[in-house]
Amino acid sequence: MSTHKATADRPKLTVVPPAGGGRRKASGARPGRGFALHGRFRHAYISPAVLFVAVLLYLPFLWTAYLSLTSYDGLASPEFTGLDNYRRLLEDDALVTSIRNTLLWVVGTVVLPVGLGLLVAVLSYDLRRGAWFRLPFLLPYAMSGAGLGVIWGFILQPDGMANQILTLFGMPGGDTAFLQDGPRNTVAMIVVWTWQQLGVNMLLFVVGLQSIPKAPIEAARIDGASGWAMFRHVIWPLMRPITTVVFGLALVAGLKNFDIVWVMTQGGPGRSSETLAVTMYRDVFVANEYGYGSAVAVLLTTITGLASYVYLRRQVSREELPR
Amino acid sequence: MVPSKRLQVTALTVGALLLAAGCGSGDSGGSRSELKLYNDKGAWKPFFEQMGALGKQQTGLDMTPVGYTDEPTYTAFIKTSFRTNVKPDLFTWTTGGRLEEIVKQNQVAETTKIWQDGIAGGDLTEDLKKYYTVDGKQYCVPLNTAYWGMFYNKKIFDKYDLKPPATWAELEKTAQTLKSKGQVPFNQTTPTSLFSFAWFEQILAGTDPDLYERLSKGQASYTDPGVVKAMERWKTMIDAGWFSKPGDKADPADHFKSGDAAMVINGTWFNTSMTQRGLKQGEDYGFFFVPNVDPALPKRSLVFESGPLCSLRKAPDAAASTKYLKWWITPAAQEKWANARGDVSGNPKVKVADPELDKVTKEAASGGNRLVLRYFEAAPAPVLTEALSGFDKFLNKPETYMDVLKGIQKVNEDYWKSH
């Protein structure tokens, strides 16, 4: 029932003709017809976009799904091998490491950049000159992922700046192999990722905080709410639209993470820091095993699709979802 | 029905544009005066450009390099080009299994006649020919030839009164001396795992070159006692503290420049990296071929690589590409090419300007060496990929050597079952 109501209430997008009457009005066309997005030709307007998405996304995906059922080296014609690649996936120890690292990335991405971003946003929201407080957190976001990886790769190398600083101040761990041991290397890269991504998450949360209506907060204050209770029972629920977006983006970013890992460790040493996206790239483009790599791609897509679906289903109520 | 007409016109226009784009995307073929040389050596652009200028003078054909710096992207591009109309006039590749792979797909232009004439005229050698031969025919010509050996820091050697070792025992003694003086004897070959195989091939080929060659052909196992022994020797050297820490992001040439590196195994092309940093061969650094581990071997195992310069069977202008390949092997072209990069040449007639390099070239060509193909070319792609990861793991955790070998062997078995 509520779904029907939401649909019925949905406003129709209509281009309003210019005041005073344009050419079409002068020719006798009824207002709202012709350029309206609900007319006979409404599908024509979106067809270019649909075509592009179909050609550049869906067709390659279907082709990848087909390749995952073949043995293919990129040169000879693909040879159909059924589910062999998927059977091989189940026996691949490196894939277990890859899935573990991907999960670490998902958890790490959601907990660290998002959690800390929220903390900084909340702590700085009512602060005088809060914008200046937030600026240093935001600046690293201006760097590209590849540039970030190169710089932090140098900082975290065996005799890099991180170890030198620890040694200089007489702290333990001055010979830490940040990027040489798994899963420590994955954790180190998540921390680097946090350094960059914290700012943008914080910014989104600040926007969310600013969009909260003042009335319910005032009402809660009058009722005696403050501090943690105010945040938990009033502010947090009211921020739900923005938290849904931020957590959703973090979830997908964690699942598909590739660039920073590739630049910093190339998935090594010995495949110890590979994520599913890196495994896919390695199998397809480095080992030239297009069929097996495609199976990894299908697995990654399935996990990402399922995780996104489950998350959005839980977070967004049926009324809010588009029909 | 105005929208309908508009749609029709739009659809026709878009269709026409797409058709035009499709038709125009490929090379139309025919007589060409400018060739594009696709390569995975983006850093060599200035050297390719010098060759382009000389080639234009001597052949009338201009050449423009299109350099990639990422090997997987380059490989994928070349393979994709076989199926599209965007085909390179010339392209670089690797010998060994990868060359065989694209030849078997009937993609590469045959160069048997160029090799016959080249050998008869003394521009190419029989030694090199077998690496360009698939099923009795030759394909591509040598873009470059490089030998692998040890670059050493002359100032450090002089300081401790050390000389290039003539035997493996002397090499070990040199390493011990350097270690006792607080110097790390061997630098890692590169910041990435790309050449993590360097010591594996050096130790194995210097101990049992037959086993090394059988291994690369799928005729031996990575868990063979001979291979295990080579890994154990390598492990002993790591355990002795003779190697710099893996994971160092700096180029070994920078460590030579700063005076930190004492020795590094590399191909002779590493000279380019050294000279680009202002270091002088014979003054700042020297080069020696690594002696065999087993002194009883009749010849010194000399790791070498030769990168092919190829053209496609269906090249945009096959005659122009062939003409360029013929010119590429001539002494005039090779002399320019070798001297521009500061490297050796595969053409025995070429006089390398740098006396130290010339000495290396002559020493490599002497009868006392047994050439063994670099592991990078010798191993099939999936095995190489697994091995690079495995050796990288081993460098960080030497105690994992048996797991590493078993892992490579699993991929090795799978590969040779279907090849």
The predicted-structure confidence for B214-257, as pLDDT tens digits, reads as follows: 999 899 999 999 999 999 999 999 999 999 988 888 899 999 99
Mutate to test the interface with A, among B249, B391, B413, B415 (most CBs of A within 10 A): B249
Find the CB nearest A286 among B101, B385, B400: B385
Least confident among A60-64, B212-216, B278-282: B278-282
The β-bridge relationship of strands B369-373 and B300-310 is parallel
pLDDT at A126: 77
pLDDT at B174: 97
Q: A33-42, A308-317, B380-389: which has the highest mean pLDDT?
A: B380-389
CB B169 within 8 A of CB B291: no
pLDDT at A1: 36
All residues at 6 or more sequence positions from B99 whose CB lies less than 8 Å from its CB, including other chains? B93, B108, B132, B134, B139, B140, B308, B310
Beta bridge partners of B35: B63
Contact across the interface for B248 and A158, Cβ inside 8 Å:
yes
Q: Where are the domains of chain A?
A: 92-210+242-288
Find the CB nearest B390 among A48, A75, A270: A270
Q: What is the mean pLDDT of residues A5-31?
A: 44
The tokens of A77 are what? 């014609």
Find the CB nearest B393 among A159, A177, A269: A269
Q: Is B102 on the interface with A (CB under 8 A)?
A: yes
Between B317 and A321, residue with greater pLDDT: B317
pLDDT at B407 over 80: yes
Q: What is the mean pLDDT of residues B335-351?
A: 85
The tokens of B91 are what? 């392209």
Task: Determine the Cα–Cα distance for residues B251 and B242; give it in Å rounded to an integer.
Answer: 18
Contact across the interface for A268 and B404, Cβ inside 8 Å:
no
pLDDT at B366: 78
Q: Is B82 on the interface with A (CB under 8 A)?
A: yes
pLDDT at A37: 61
Please give the residue of chain A at the shortest CA–CA distance from B381.
A287
Contact across the interface for B192 and A266, Cβ inside 8 Å:
yes
All residues at 6 or more sequence positions from B337 whose CB lies less than 8 Å from its CB, including other chains? B47, B51, B144, B328, B345
Q: Is B382 on the interface with A (CB under 8 A)?
A: yes
Q: What is the mean pLDDT of residues B100-125?
A: 93
pLDDT at B352 over 90: no
Contact across the interface for A287 and B381, Cβ inside 8 Å:
yes
Q: What is the mean pLDDT of residues B55-62?
A: 93
Residue B5 binned pLDDT confidence (cut-offs 50, 70, 90): low
Beta bridge partners of B37: B65, B90
Helices (H), ranges, B270-354: 270-276, 318-328, 331-341
Task: Determine the Cα–Cα distance for residues B251 and B244; give it in Å rounded to an integer.
Answer: 12
Find the CB nearest A288 among B381, B404, B418: B381
Find the CB nearest B248 among A159, A269, A272: A159
pLDDT at A15: 44
| DSSP code, position A70 | E
Contact across the interface for B76 and A181, Cβ inside 8 Å:
no
Between B239 and B43, residue with greater pLDDT: B239
The reply to whether domains B35-146+305-373 and B148-303+374-417 share a CATH topology is yes
pLDDT at B26: 42
- Look at the alpha carbons of B17, B20, B21, B22 in this order and tell me if their dihedral is positive or negative: positive
Report the number of secondary-structure helices (H) and strands (E) in chain A.
Answer: 18, 2
B/e letters for B87-111, b = 16+ CB within 10 Å, e = fewer, are bbbbbbbbbbbbbbbbbebebbbbb
Token pair 């990575």 is found at B222
The tokens of A119 are what? 């903390």
What does chain A come to in residues? 323
Mapped onto helix, strand or coil, the DSSP state of residue A276 is helix
Residue B82 binned pLDDT confidence (cut-offs 50, 70, 90): confident
CA count, 13 A, side-chain hemisphere, B117: 10
Tell whether omega for the bond before B185 is within 30 degrees of 0, i.e. cis.
Answer: no
Q: Which residues of chain B neighbour A270 with C-beta distances below 8 Å? A: 389-390, 392-394, 396-397, 400, 404
What ipTM does this complex have? Answer: 0.79
Q: A224-228, B359-363, B411-415: which has the highest mean pLDDT?
A: B411-415
Report the number of secondary-structure helices (H) and strands (E) in chain B.
Answer: 19, 10
CATH of the domain spanning A92-210+242-288: 1.10.3720.10
Contact across the interface for B392 and A154, Cβ inside 8 Å:
no
Q: Which long-range contacts (CB under 8 A, 24 or more apart) does A87-91 make?
A: A88/A292, A88/A295, A89/A292, A89/A295, A89/A296, A89/A299
Among B50, B131, B16, residue whose Cα is nearest residue B374 = B131
Least confident among A286-300, B39-53, B332-346: B332-346
Residue A24 binned pLDDT confidence (cut-offs 50, 70, 90): very low
Under 8 Å CB pairs connecting chains A and B tally to 85
From residue B194, alpha-carbon distances to B124, B250, B266 in Å are 29, 14, 12
pLDDT at B72 over 50: yes
The tokens of A123 are what? 């702590």
Domain B148-303+374-417, CATH homologous superfamily name and number: Periplasmic binding protein-like II (3.40.190.10)
| DSSP code, position B398 | G
pLDDT digits (tens, 9 = 90+) for A72-89: 888 888 999 999 999 999
Find the CB nearest A282 among B82, B192, B385: B385
How many C-beta atoms lie closer than 10 Å to residue B220's C-beta?
A: 19
Task: Determine the Cα–Cα distance for residues A283 and A293; give it in Å rounded to an integer.
Answer: 5
pLDDT at A56: 92
pLDDT at B22 over 80: no
pLDDT at A25 over 70: no
Q: How many Å lie between the alpha carbon of A316 and the closest alpha carbon of chain B?
A: 38
Which phi-psi region, left, alpha or beta, contains residue B190 (left: φ > 0; alpha: ψ -120 to 50)? beta
Least confident among A56-65, B68-77, B107-116: B68-77
Q: Is B255 on the interface with A (CB under 8 A)?
A: no
Sort B318 into a burial class: Cβ within 10 Å, 0-12 / 13-18 / 19+.
middle
Between B317 and B367, residue with greater pLDDT: B317
**Mean pLDDT score across all residues of chain B:** 89
Task: Determine the Cα–Cα distance for residues A255 and B196; give it in Å rounded to an integer.
Answer: 29
Q: Which residues of chain B neighbour A288 with C-beta distances below 8 Å? A: 75, 381-382
CB A251 within 8 A of CB A110: yes
Q: What is the mean pLDDT of residues A259-288?
A: 92
Between B394 and B382, residue with greater pLDDT: B394
How many C-beta atoms lie closer than 10 Å to residue A29's C-beta?
A: 15
Token pair 């450009």 is found at B49
What residues of chain A have any CB closer than 8 angstroms to a CB in chain B? Answer: 34, 41, 44, 48, 71, 73-76, 153-154, 157-160, 177, 179-181, 266-272, 281-282, 285-289
CB A278 within 8 A of CB A98: yes
Residue B142: φ, ψ to 5°: -70, 120
pTM, rounded to two decimals: 0.81
Helices B2-24 and A42-53 meet at what angle, rounded to 10?
20
Among B269, B288, B291, B289, residue whose Cα is nearest residue B341 = B269
pLDDT at A67 over 50: yes
Q: Is B246 on the interface with A (CB under 8 A)?
A: yes
Question: pLDDT above 70 covers what percent of chain B?
Answer: 93
Please give the residue of chain A at the shortest CA–CA distance from B244.
A158
End-to-end Cα, chain A, rounded Å: 13
Mapped onto helix, strand or coil, the DSSP state of residue A244 is helix
Q: Where are the domains of chain B?
A: 35-146+305-373, 148-303+374-417
CB B414 within 8 A of CB A71: no
pLDDT at A2: 39
pLDDT at B396: 92
Find the CB nearest A41 among B3, B82, B247: B3
pLDDT at B303: 95
pLDDT at B4: 52
pLDDT at B25: 40
CATH of the domain spanning B35-146+305-373: 3.40.190.10
Least confident among A113-127, B49-63, B106-120: A113-127
Residue A27 binned pLDDT confidence (cut-offs 50, 70, 90): very low
Find the CB nearest A44 among B7, B79, B80: B7
Among B285, B308, B289, residue whose Cα is nearest residue B300 = B289
Question: pLDDT above 90 covers what percent of chain A?
Answer: 50
pLDDT at B6: 54
Contact across the interface for A270 and B79, Cβ inside 8 Å:
no
Contact across the interface for A73 and B395, Cβ inside 8 Å:
no
Q: Is B245 on the interface with A (CB under 8 A)?
A: yes
User: Where in B230-280 does DSSP place strands (E)?
Assistant: 263-267
Q: What is the mean pLDDT of residues A14-32?
A: 45
Between A14 and A176, residue with greater pLDDT: A176
The tokens of A323 are what? 């029909």
> Which residue type, as a one-letter code, is found at position A270?
G
CA B78-B40-B378 angle, to 5 degrees, is 85
Contact across the interface for A269 and B246, Cβ inside 8 Å:
yes
Q: Is B69 on the interface with A (CB under 8 A)?
A: no
pLDDT at A21 over 60: no
Q: What is the mean pLDDT of residues A219-242?
A: 87
Secondary structure element (H or E) that encloses residue B369, with its range: strand B369-373
Q: Which residues of chain B neighbour A285 with C-beta distances below 8 Å? A: 72-73, 75-76
